[in-house]
Structure 1
Amino acid sequence: MRKGVKAAKLAYRVLEEATPLTLVHIRLYTGRSHQIRVQFASRGFPLAGDHKYGSRDDIRSPALWSFRLTLPHPVTGETIPCLHPPEGELWHTFPMISREIPRW
């Protein structure tokens, strides 16, 4: 790694493909600004609707949804999962892709 560059680690798994779109489940290990957008675009796979990072489609905003966040409780330290399934315009962008939320 170059000097002064912070690590940015994620793991991903393809859930479903429906050309030209692919539904991907991503797990972040670091939380760098724009990390998912930058890492996918740098490999030639910009997010649908992410015109800042190279998408050339007609979708109005980046197709990125955080359906699960896991946070530590500030007092007890207990892990608290926060789930929020995709909805609205973002999710309707993908009518051909399964709406099943993965449990990972």
Structure 2
Amino acid sequence: MNLLQERSSAGKAQVVGITCDSVYALKAWADDLGGVSFPLCADFWPHGAVSSAYGVLNTEIGRPDRSIFVIDREGVIRYIDLHQLREVPDEAEIAEELEKLA
């Protein structure tokens, strides 16, 4: 994700991480990584409201499915990547979509 943030900066895009974890859990995660270069948002309360709005909240386990959305300035979703927990998203493909927004 840091690589995507670096590449999207030139394309006038913003990478944002959103999870159902608390602010404290997000801070601990970012600290474990040595920091992150993009904002993290806690979709903690009401639990999963943002994830539900985008259709990725897995209510059986109480967290969103792994997903990446590219959304333009008008709020139109231009790209969606859904992947399993251990899968690595195709950053080149996502970067290509981000560059289209420039």
TM-score, length-normalised on structure 2? 0.28
Q: Which structure's CA Rg is the greater one?
A: 1
Bigger RCO of structures 1 and 2 (CA < 8 A, at least 6 apart): 2
**TM-score scaled by structure 1?**
0.28
Q: Which has the higher helix share?
A: 2
